[in-house]
Amino acid sequence: MNCSILCRTAVAILCWLVFLAPEITSGAATMWLDCTFGPLPEQEFARLHLMTIGDRVERAVVEPLGLAATDVSGLKIAGGKLTGALVIGHDTLSMNRSLAPRLATRMALELNLSIVDGQVAGTFAGFWPKAKTLDTPLAVEGAVTGVARDEESLRKDFGLPDDATWASWLGAHQNFSVGGGRDASPPLVDDLHDAQLLWVSQWIGPTESGSHRYGACVGAPPCAGGASPLVAGGRVFQFRYEAAGDDVQQQHLDAVMTGEKGADTRAKMAAIGWTDADMRRRWAIRADEQLVAIDAATGRTVWKVDWPGEGVNLFDHKCSLTNHTGVAALGNVYVFGAMGIVRCVDAESGQQQWSARVPGYADLMDAFLAKSIQEQITRAPTRSFCHALNVSGDVVLAPDGIGACGVVALDARTGELRWRVKDRVLGKCATPMAWRKDDKDYVAAASEAGTITLIEAATGRIVWQYDQAGDNEYQTLLVGDLLMGHKLKQEERESAPQTLDDGPHSAPGLNYGQVACWRLTLEGPKLLWTAPAEWGAPANSPIGSAADGLICFRGNYSYHLVDPETGKRVGSRHLTAPVRWDEGHMLALADRFVLHPDSQHGHTKMFLLPARAAGEVSSVWSPPHPWATTYQSAMSHAWADGRLFIRGADALYCYDLRRRP
């Protein structure tokens, strides 16, 4: 295990191609430039965001969506001037597209900018890509204006209070909602299109990265896993992994590197400068695991902790490390590695406090890794790596297997095993929930066998188990003493076609559920209400989220606002925007809900919904960064104090949703 005050980032196309990145030391000052430049063909103006560390331009983001800054190494900053060439192109970073097209569309813009008293002014000249084509680019020139923010300004305007948190995959309150002091009060924009991009982090890597069926995947960066970001103590924490080691999937390499396929593979490699070593690394069996701590105000890496060779390269787009989000609690960050190892890392310093094997889970993964090395091929045992960690009282909660499984509790201070419930009390895409009653901590878990189980957090004693719930493969919600879950059994669900007359939508077929609410007591749960079946509720995604005294859950191209105490629907609306509508999820701000209609098929499109019946729904928003999603279990985008921290296909992005004067 290595701990260092470093940052790695991808600043050039060749860095991505060989999976290398420059190091950033902690001494130099950070500055962000937010600029508008134009006029341009096919659009009047574009946006450019540049991060500098000392005298070096570290990374850049170009808006609108579909464009990418592929190389900033030609830019220099000195004496209040930023000059040189910025290389841009069409963004093609996705799980089944390599970076090779970026090389084919490299176009340079020469920048000549002055930075005086926080203001940016200057000129640009060069070439600009035609929209959605690889044709000959167009010659352009024009003016650049903008602002420059140093670290003091960034911390003043964008720093987070220490109690602004999104500390687990479930958010701050076990129901995908925000927490913290000012989180309940900052006025937010009414339209997500008014969100302001604040920063982009160091290279994190894609959440999915093709599969054997996509062939050689020349130029495609390896998967970094689908863990969601966590926010605590003014920092953002991201778990990731990177393919590494000498053990490779030789069985697959032989198939794509020999014969007729081999000739095609080598031609693609030659086009982008890849070597056999690059291919072996792309198809490595093992992985280096890493926890990155990022300053929430500046986007700069504060520290990172590496665990070389302690992971496994689960790369397949349907069988990658889908969730495995850790949890921030008690001044620590608890990391959930692919091999079933939980590590406790001090959130301030990055020093590891302890590590522990999760019984059951670690044994299963040991056998999987040994088989992969022996057979020289990695075939994940299941699509379900969909659980996350949680904390209840002084224990860290982890699954004891993949798919439907039991729950393990580790002592949060020492890592010692406190207890294990081996019965399959947890759904395959669910995380155990923390519940506190009469100054005592408990664990609530719902299963796909129709049970709800209450466990005493300190001892593992099963307080009660209720068997009259529906089958809950996906996440249920806790709102105080109320638990929202599905009432229908799998055999009772109906499939309805997902087609409407007013535009293109998702593929047909979706299992529907029926939301019900139980009041938890120490004697057992009491069923309070069951929503009408015609409201619809997808059973293949989390129930919804809670904010402003209401819960919100999806129906068939609609959403429902419901009073959790009574089950009374206080608002509902049909949404007709042409977006895919299956396997999505919801997140809750102080007075808004954010609906991500499809969070599993590469689409990052969101609606901002009011947490009141009479509010307006914003038009669908497509964030201007390379999109990333995960299969089976959706990523939980982190929200804190009016800021959104979201995984892209390359890095973490921070957007400011606070309403500006």
pLDDT tens across 269-313, in order?
988 888 999 999 999 999 999 999 999 999 999 999 999 999 999
Express as a percent the part of the chain with pLDDT over 70. Answer: 85
What is the 3-class SS of 57-126, one letter each residue?
EEEEEEECCCEEEEEEEEEEEECCEEEEEEEEEECCCECCECCHHHHHCCEEEEEEEEEECCEEEEEEEE
The residue among 132, 156, 180 that closes a domain is 156
Highest-pLDDT range among 151-160, 432-441, 599-608: 432-441
Tell me: do 32 and 151 sit in the same domain: yes
pLDDT value for 324: 94
pLDDT value for 620: 85
pLDDT value for 515: 93
Reported confidence tier of residue 497, pLDDT bands at 50, 70, 90: low
Residue 280 lies in a domain: yes
Is the separation of the CB atoms in 89 and 107 below 8 Å?
Answer: yes
Is the separation of the CB atoms in 654 and 204 below 8 Å?
Answer: no
Tell me: do 211 and 150 sit in the same domain: no
Reported confidence tier of residue 216, pLDDT bands at 50, 70, 90: confident
pLDDT value for 322: 87
Tell me: do 211 and 128 sit in the same domain: no
Reported confidence tier of residue 521, pLDDT bands at 50, 70, 90: very high
Residue 659 lies in a domain: no
Question: Quick check: 100 pLDDT over 60?
Answer: no
CATH number of the domain that residue 309 is part of: 2.40.10.480
Mind listing the pLDDT tens digit for each residue in 602-621?
A: 778 888 888 776 667 878 88
Tell me: do 262 and 345 sit in the same domain: yes
pLDDT value for 298: 93
Q: Which domain holds residue 26?
A: 2-156
pLDDT value for 355: 98
The residue among 156, 176, 191 that closes a domain is 156
Residue 360 lies in a domain: yes
Read off φ and ψ for residue 366, nearest 5 degrees.
-60, -45
Mind listing the pLDDT tens digit for each residue in 578-602?
A: 667 667 888 888 778 888 888 877 7
Residue reference for tokens 């809950």: 472
Tell me the mean pLDDT in the region 113-120: 95
Question: Quick check: 440 pLDDT over 90?
Answer: yes
CATH number of the domain that residue 10 is part of: 2.40.160
Tell me: do 211 and 134 sit in the same domain: no
Q: How many structural domains compose the chain? A: 2
Tell me: do 127 and 60 sit in the same domain: yes
Residue 380 lies in a domain: yes
Question: Quick check: 253 pLDDT over 60?
Answer: yes
Tell me: do 211 and 115 sit in the same domain: no
What is the token pair recorded at 535?
């409201």
Question: Quick check: 498 pLDDT over 80?
Answer: no
Residue 606 lies in a domain: no
| More confident call, 232 vs 627 | 232
Distance of alpha carbon 293 from the chain centroid: 15
pLDDT value for 3: 42
Mind listing the pLDDT tens digit for each residue in 345-366?
A: 999 999 999 999 999 999 999 9
Tell me: do 111 and 216 sit in the same domain: no
pLDDT value for 505: 44
Express as a percent the part of the chain with pLDDT over 90. Answer: 52
| More confident call, 391 vs 594 | 391
Reported confidence tier of residue 28, pLDDT bands at 50, 70, 90: low
**Of 63, 24, 112, 72, nearest in space to 653 by CA:** 63
Residue 112 lies in a domain: yes
Tell me: do 121 and 263 sit in the same domain: no
- Could you please report the per-residue DSSP string of 558-623? EEEEE-TTT--EEEEEE--SS---SS-EEEE-SSEEEEES--SSS---BEEEESSTTPPPPPPB--
Residue 620 lies in a domain: no
Reported confidence tier of residue 41, pLDDT bands at 50, 70, 90: confident
Least confident of 34-48, 67-81, 82-96, 156-170: 82-96
Tell me the mean pLDDT in the region 303-331: 89
Question: Quick check: 552 pLDDT over 80?
Answer: yes
Answer whether the bond into residue 187 is a cis peptide, omega within 30°: no
Q: What is the mean pLDDT of the chain?
A: 85
Tell me: do 150 and 256 sit in the same domain: no
pLDDT value for 132: 54
Count CB atoms within 10 A of the CB of residue 619.
Answer: 11
pLDDT value for 387: 94
pLDDT value for 42: 66
Question: Quick check: 156 pLDDT over 60?
Answer: yes
Q: What is the pTM of this model?
A: 0.91
The residue among 385, 419, 448 that closes a domain is 385
| More confident call, 336 vs 607 | 336
Question: Quick check: 6 pLDDT over 50?
Answer: no
Tell me: do 212 and 342 sit in the same domain: yes
Residue reference for tokens 């209401």: 550
Tell me: do 71 and 214 sit in the same domain: no
Instruction: Say whether 641 sits in a helix, a strand or coil.
Output: coil
pLDDT value for 136: 67
Residue 52 lies in a domain: yes
Count CB atoms within 10 A of the CB of residue 14.
Answer: 16
| More confident call, 131 vs 634 | 634
